[in-house]
Structure formats: structure tokens, C-alpha cells
Amino acid sequence: MSALVFALVFWLAAWGANVWLSNSRWSGTWAVRLTVPLLFGATLLVLWEGLVLGLGVSPVILPPPSMVVQTFATSTETLWIDFVQTVIKGALRGFVIGALAAVLCAILIDRSPFLTRGLLPIGNFFAALPIVGVAPIMVNWFGFDWQSKAAVVVVMVFFPILVNTVQGLRASDALQRDLMRTYAASYWQTLVKLRLPAAMPFVFNGLKIATTLALIGAIVAEYFGSPTRGMGFRISTGVGSLSIDLVWAEIAVAAMVGTSFYGLMAWIERKVTFWHPSHRT
């Protein structure tokens, strides 16, 4: 019971501290901007731990975070193998292929305004569809190994990136394009020097949406058949064999991978689109 009381006290204290910090005169500094969300996250973990221990929840249903951390530490080898199989082989390859294909397609389509008008609404529609459903079809076509996972990822990331890139290629305004024409720039020169850079904020928007989709695709595809490794495989078998702590460790890996993948994209975006008003300081 004391664990529960401690968790509740910690919650109230952290809440108070956050209210005080965010209304104090340091609230604009980066230290406070970092502390407040971190404290909030820590509170959630402490509450979880306290509730599980205090109410005596069976670890088969919900293991406390401390147990998940232990499992994480003892089974890093398994987690690493799964990480390589799902993220490096499946998600990342699919992401790269899908993104390249989408950008190339967008550049091709962009040459014809007629096709662009037709493809934008259709692409938008496809981007909203539950495309994960193609996972069993892809597993059937490409076999159990990473090729089928990459194929699902390609299909999932293709449309969001395509739609965003097509929109981005139209982002440069008429004045700028006229200027390129007065320079007697060719189509390719205009594309490389003006329109592609101008499209980058849109492209990265699509890429950032696609990071999460890539992981979802790679994990779901493993539910339909995979070699005896991979995050999706471990999660689905772990749930079946009640090794829930290992499942949570995999979820933690997935969360970290998802967040850092997204963070990486955001970082590259800042480097590439340093000229954009939203990044100027």
C-alpha cells in the first residue's frame, strides 16, 4: 500500500512543481521547457509502478516499469536481433525505397498538370486508407522474410510522401519561376535550384508522417508470418506465452526507435530547410 501512497504523493508534488515552474519567471528557459515534460513523464511511470505494486496487479497482466527495465537489460541480445530484423531490414529499406519511388513519381507526374489534378485527390484518398490490410497479401507474394515487410512499408509510405511532394513542387511562386526564366534556366536547372528546394518543407512533412507508418507496417506484417525473430513476431508470441515483460521491453524499443527516427527526420529537415521562416531565429 505504501507504494501507492508514495506514487500519489509524488504525483501531487510533481504536479505542484510543474505548475510553479511553468508560471515562474524562468518558464521561457530551455531548462524548464525540458524539465516540465520530463517530470510529467516520470510521474506517469511512478504512478504506473505505484498502482501495480500497491494494488497487487499480477505481472502477467501489467508488469511494473522496473520489471520491464530489468527484462530489457537481461535480454538486450534478443532485442537487438529483433531490432535488426524489423527496423534495419524491414522498415528502413522499405522507407528508403518507398520515399525514393514517391519523390521520383511526383517529379514525373508534375510535368503534366492534367495528371497532377487527377492524382492529388486519389493520392489523398489512398493516404487515408487502412493500407496495413495489404500485409497478408504481401507476405503471400514475397515470403516470410524481410522482403515482404519492406513491401508493406513501401506501399504504406508511398502515398503520403507522393501527395506532399506534388504539393511541394507547386510551392514556388510565379515570380520566382519567372526569374528563373529570365536567367534562361532549363527545366532541370529550375527543378534542382528552385523547385526542389522550395518543396523540401512539404517533402519532409511527408517523410515525418511516413516514419511512424514504416514502423507500423513492418511490425504488423510480422503478425502474418515471419522468421523466428523480429519485433512483431516477439510481441505476438510473447502475448501468447504470457511473457508480457518481454513484450513491454519490445514496445519500449519500438517507442524509442519511433521517436528517434522522427527526431532524425526533424533534424535533417532543419539542416536542409534552414532558410524556411519557421526555422529562422
- The residue ranges that bind another protein (CB under 8 A) are 18-19, 22-23, 27, 32-33, 36-37, 39-41, 60-62, 114-122, 125, 128-130, 132-137, 139-141, 211-212, 215-216, 219-220, 223-224, 231-232, 235-236, 239, 244, 247-248, 250-251, 254-255, 258-259, 261-262
Q: How far apart are the first and last CA of the chain?
A: 51
Cα–Cα distance, 66 to 245 (Å, whole number):
10
Closer CB to another protein, residue 198 or residue 235?
Answer: 235
Length of the chain in terms of residues written: 281
Q: How many whole angstroms separate alpha carbon 175 and alpha carbon 177? A: 5
Task: Decide whether 78 or 236 has the Cβ nearer to another protein.
Answer: 236
The C-alpha atoms of residue 140 and residue 67 are separated, in whole angstroms, by 38
Least distance from another protein to the Cβ atom of residue 15, Å: 8
Nearer CB in complex with another protein: 198/233: 233
Q: How far is the CB of 267 from another protein (least distance, A)?
A: 14
d(CA 154, CA 148): 10
Q: Identify which of residues 125 and 187 has a Cβ nearer to another protein in the complex.
A: 125
Q: Output the smallest distance, CB 129 to another protein, in A.
A: 5
Residue closer to another protein, measured from CB, 18 or 78? 18
CB distance 202 to 165 below 8 Å: yes
Least distance from another protein to the Cβ atom of residue 83, Å? 13
Q: Nearest to residue 50, comparing CAs of 13, 1, 12?
A: 1
Rank residues 122 and 192 by Cβ distance to another protein and give the closer one.
122
The distance of closest approach from Cβ of residue 225 to another protein in the complex, given in angstroms and rounded to an integer, is: 9
**Contact assessment for residue 178 and residue 150, using Cβ atoms and an 8 Å cutoff:** no
Cβ partners under 8 Å of residue 217, min gap 6: 91, 94, 131, 132, 135, 149, 152, 153, 155, 156, 157
Distance CA 65, CA 52 (A): 9
